[in-house]
Structures are given as C-alpha cells and as structure tokens.
Amino acid sequence: MTINKILDVTETLAIFFNESKGHRSIRALKHFSIDSILHVFSAREHVQNPTYLSVQIDEDKHILLFPEFLQYINHSCEPNTFFDTKKGEIIAIKDINENEEVTFFYPSTEWSMTQPFECFCKASSCLGIIQGAAYLDNNSITKYRFAEHIQNKLHKRQNVK
C-alpha cells in the first residue's frame, strides 16, 4: 500500500492519496491533544439539497465546507475529531498522533444521509451501513458526540417513545 502526500494544506494538516484504495484523506502533521482545535470551518456555499460532500449544520441547513480541503476528512465509527457546527471548529476528541488520519463520525452532523454507504473503517465497533443519526439504535447513540441539531432530534425521538 502506497500513501503519497499530495499537499500540505496547513502547517498541521495535509491531504494524502492512498493509491491502492484510490481515495484521499487528511492526516495530522503534528500531535494534537484531546480538546484541541484542529481547524476552523465555515460555509463555502449553502446548499438547498444535501450532497455527499455537504455537512448538515442545522435541522434544514447544509453547507459545502470552507476551506474546501476539509471535505477529505473521512468517516470512522471510532472517530478522533468532532465537527462543532455552532462554533465552526473541528475538535480532537482523542489524542491524534503525527501522521494519523483525521476522521469524524458522519452521523454526528447528518440526520439522514443522501448517500448511505458501507463503512470500511475496520473498527471493532463498526456499524456497517452508515445512513445518518436517524438510523442509530439507542445503544449506538450513547457512544458518540453529536452536533446540537442532531442532539435535539435524538432527544425528541426518545421522548416520543
């Protein structure tokens, strides 16, 4: 397996390309401690309809990320970052070592994903099919941190039962 660095996008993050898998990822160029901010983000564009590249920032609001390279942060069922959609910050939820891939749990911001996919994160806790927070069972919900708009929807769902 050959992983080539494509571009240092900041002093602390870079885009890498995995030739064998044919996909890009973001890797840390330094160590990040838990609760540190890896990067800030905002809207490059607000989109009416969600896409596989958009991030849900509120109940019915979706954005394309700025800076654009952040779109290469891949999903993991055992993520090391969290997208705080209210503050526009990507926060380390675990220590991240130099050269480690930066990942986040897509359902932490997405209620119902436009393009569900089979997860290949290989984590022992892998959920298999990733569709959004609406499809998570109560046991899975307790394991993750969610954006405020997803927390609100999960709370409403639990109160309905």
The string of pLDDT tens digits covering residues 20-62 is: 778 899 999 999 999 999 999 999 999 989 999 999 999 999 9
Give the model's pLDDT for residue 160.
65
High-pLDDT (> 90) share of the chain, %? 78
> Please, what is the average pLDDT of the chain?
93
Give the model's pLDDT for residue 7.
74
CA-to-CA distance for 38 and 40, rounded, in angstroms?
A: 7
Could you give all domains of the chain from N- to C-terminal order, each with its CATH number? Answer: 3-160 (2.170.270.10)
Which value, in Å, is the radius of gyration of the alpha carbons in the chain? 15
Six token digits for residue 68: 């654009």
pTM, two decimal places: 0.91
CA-to-CA distance for 119 and 132, rounded, in angstroms?
A: 12
The string of pLDDT tens digits covering residues 112-123 is: 999 999 998 888
Give the model's pLDDT for residue 158.
77
111 C-beta neighbours (distance < 10 Å), count? 20
